[in-house]
Chains A and B, each alone.
Chain A
Amino acid sequence: MEFVVLFVTAAIVNNFVLHYFVGICPYVGVSKEVGAAASMGLAVIFVMTLAGIAGWLINNLVLMPLGLGILEYVSYVVVIASLVQLVELFLKKAIPALYRTLGIFLPLITSNCAILFLVLMLALEEYGFLESVFFSLGAGVGFTIAIVLMAGIREQLEQADIPRAFRGAAVTMAIAGIMALAFSGFAGLV
C-alpha cells in the first residue's frame, strides 16, 4: 500500500512536469503529436527507472559510506550520461525495433533535468531501495501522462485561431498552467 501511495504521489499528485517544473524542455519540444510524445514518455519511464536504481546504488553504496557527499552532483551527472549511452548501445544490439522507436529521444534524455531531479529527490527523501524503484516508475509514468495529454491538446489547437503573440511556446505555457490547476485538484488524494 505504501508503495502504491508513493507511485501515485510521483505520477499524479506531485507530477514532475506540472508540480516541480522539471522536464519542461521535452514537454514543450516533443509535444506536437501524440505518437512522438508517447515514445518520448516510454523512453523517459525506461531511463528514469534505471537512473533511479543506479543513483540509489551510487548514493547508498559508494558516496554515503565513503563520506563523499560533496561529489554527489558530479557523480550523478557522469552516471546518468553513461547510463543513457549504455542503454542506447544495448537497445541497438538487443531490441532493434524498440531502438527505432526510442532512438532519437535517448540522447535528449541525458540533458533532461527530470532525471537528475529524480536522483536528487531520492537522496533528499532518503527512500529505501524498493521505495526508490516505485517512486522512479511513478515519476516516469507521470511525465508520460502529462506529455501525451499536452500533445493531444496541441493537435486540436492546430486549427485554432490563436492571437499572434501567443502562438508557439506562450500558448503551450498557458495550457500547461490550466493542466497544473487540474492536477493540483488531486492533492487531497494522498
Chain B
Amino acid sequence: MAQRSVRAFQTAALRNNPVFVQGLGLCPALAVTSTAVYGLSMGLATSFVVICAMTIATLLKRFVPDSVRIPVYAVVIATFVTIADQVMRAFFPDLSAALGPYVPLIVVNCMILGRVEAFARKNPVAPTIGDAVGTSVAFTGALVLLGAFRELLGQGNVFGVQVMGEAFEPLGIMGLPTGAFFGLAVLWALFNAARAQGKQQAVVRP
C-alpha cells in the first residue's frame, strides 16, 4: 500500500508535472510569483485544497452519481478554498491582502478538478493521497522556482535575502506581468530541454 502511494507520488510529481508538462494551473503560476514567498504561500494554500479535496472525493466516490459529480466536486473544492481563505485572512492578513482574489481563484484551478476527475475518482485512498501530495509538491515547486527566478532578476533577492552583489542592476520588468510571461517561457523551455536530454540518455543506455 505504501509502495503504491510512493509510486503515485513519483508519477504525479515528475512525469506528469502539472505546470510544465500539462500546462495546468497557469493563472496562479503567472499571477502570484513576483517573489518566492508569494509563490510558496500560494503553493501551500493550493496544496491544502488539493490534498483535502482529493481525499474527500475518493471517499465519496461510491455515493455520488456520475451525472452530478462535477458540481459535487466543485462544491467540495470551493468549501476547502473558503477554509483556506478564512485561515489566511485570520492569521496572515498581509499575505492574504497581497494574494487578493487569487486565493478564491484556487476554486477554478483546473489542475485540482483534473486530478479529482482523472485519479481520485478511480483509485483507493492511499494512492490518491500519494498522487495528491505529488501534485502539490510539483505545483508548489514550480511556483517557488518561478517566484525565486523573478525575484532574483527583479530585485536581486531570493526569499527576501539579498543574493546579487551591489553592482547588480535589478530588472524592474521581471516584477511586471511581462516578466511573469517571460519567466515562465524560459523555465518551460529549460524543462523541455531537460526532458529531451533525459529521453536521449534513456535511449542510449537501454
Contacts and interface: CB of A to CB of B under 8 A. Distances in A.
Given A24-B27, A120-B104, A165-B193, A73 B178 contact: no
Nearest to B195: A165
A22 interface: yes
B198 interface: no
For this complex, into which size category does the number of interface residues on chain B fall? 35 or more
B141 to A, nearest CB: 18
A73 B26 contact: no
A73 B82 contact: yes
B26 A70 contact: no
A121 B186 CA distance: 31
A51 to B, nearest CB: 12
B53 interface: no
Nearest to A176: B181
Contacts of B108: 77, 111-113, 115-116
Interface string A162-190: 01111111110110111011001000000
Interface residues of A, number: 45
A111 B77 CA distance: 13
23 contacts: A19-B177, A70-B82, A71-B82, A73-B78, A73-B107, A74-B79, A77-B78, A78-B75, A113-B105, A115-B108, A121-B101, A164-B192, A166-B189, A167-B192, A169-B23, A170-B189, A173-B182, A173-B184, A176-B181, A177-B177, A180-B176, A180-B177, A181-B173
